[in-house]
């Protein structure tokens, strides 16, 4: 009867030799996930998914976020579910609803039903408005900005708004907010 050998049981020099046969980019991507996959946590289904399909987003934190590696660099990409976002009037069902959506990564989206914004909400834009780009057959994306993280844990606050005096807003559907490296 054959026995199973986990990657954590392989000698380090064997792992190093195997990695040396890959490209530099593949080696970086592999090393990003290898340390976690080799740990005792490999029984976790999401870690197994990450190990075998590192570029396909996996749900983490009880489905409130997704994680993937960027294909060309191995950099981390994180997306936050709309249910985890602090949306103004998000808990008022006369303004927002959270319907299920099979095209959404999280199975649910935030949908703005209708709201009229008052003059006190007016702000002057800091830069030119961003133009939405098609992401795939279903979703469009808007680049909301950039920030620099020098490998320290820091709080990042994201604010998305489009406000004109006494203007009705409706129909915005939010799948989530994704943080990914700038190429």
Res 114: pLDDT: 80
Reply yes or no on whether the pLDDT at 42 is more than 50: no
Reply yes or no on whether the pLDDT at 40 is more than 50: no
Q: Which residue has the tokens 């290898």?
A: 34
Tens-digit pLDDT profile for residues 167-178: 777 888 899 998
Handedness of CA 77, 175, 116, 169 (dihedral sign): positive
Q: Give the long-range contacts of residues 143-147, CB within 8 A, separation 24 or more.
A: 144/177, 146/182
Tens-digit pLDDT profile for residues 49-73: 555 566 688 888 888 999 887 777 7
Q: How far is CA 170 from the centre of its chain?
A: 25
Tens-digit pLDDT profile for residues 78-131: 899 999 988 888 888 888 999 999 888 899 999 988 876 555 544 444 555 566
Hey, which residues does 45 pair with through a beta bridge?
none
Q: Which helix (H) or strand (E) holds 31?
A: helix 24-37
Cβ atoms of residues 37 and 45 within 8 Å: no
What's the whole-number average pLDDT of the chain? 73
């Amino acid at each position: 009867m054959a026995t199973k050998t986990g990657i954590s049981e392989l000698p380090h020099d064997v792992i190093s030799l195997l990695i040396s046969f890959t490209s530099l980019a593949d080696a970086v991507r592999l090393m990003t996930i290898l340390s976690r996959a080799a740990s005792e946590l490999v029984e976790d289904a999401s870690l197994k998914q990450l190990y075998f399909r590192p570029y396909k987003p996996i749900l983490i934190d009880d489905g409130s976020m997704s994680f993937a590696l960027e294909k060309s660099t191995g950099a981390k990409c994180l997306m936050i579910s709309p249910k985890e976002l602090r949306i103004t009037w998000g808990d008022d069902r006369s303004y927002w609803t959270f319907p299920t959506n099979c095209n959404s990564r999280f199975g649910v989206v935030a949908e703005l039903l209708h709201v009229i914004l008052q003059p006190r909400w007016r702000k002057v834009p800091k830069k030119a408005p961003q133009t939405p780009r098609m992401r795939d057959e279903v979703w469009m994306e808007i680049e909301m900005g950039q920030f620099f993280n020098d490998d320290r844990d820091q709080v990042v606050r994201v604010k998305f708004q489009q406000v004109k005096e006494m203007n009705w807003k409706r129909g915005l559907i939010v799948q989530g907010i994704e943080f990914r490296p700038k190429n």
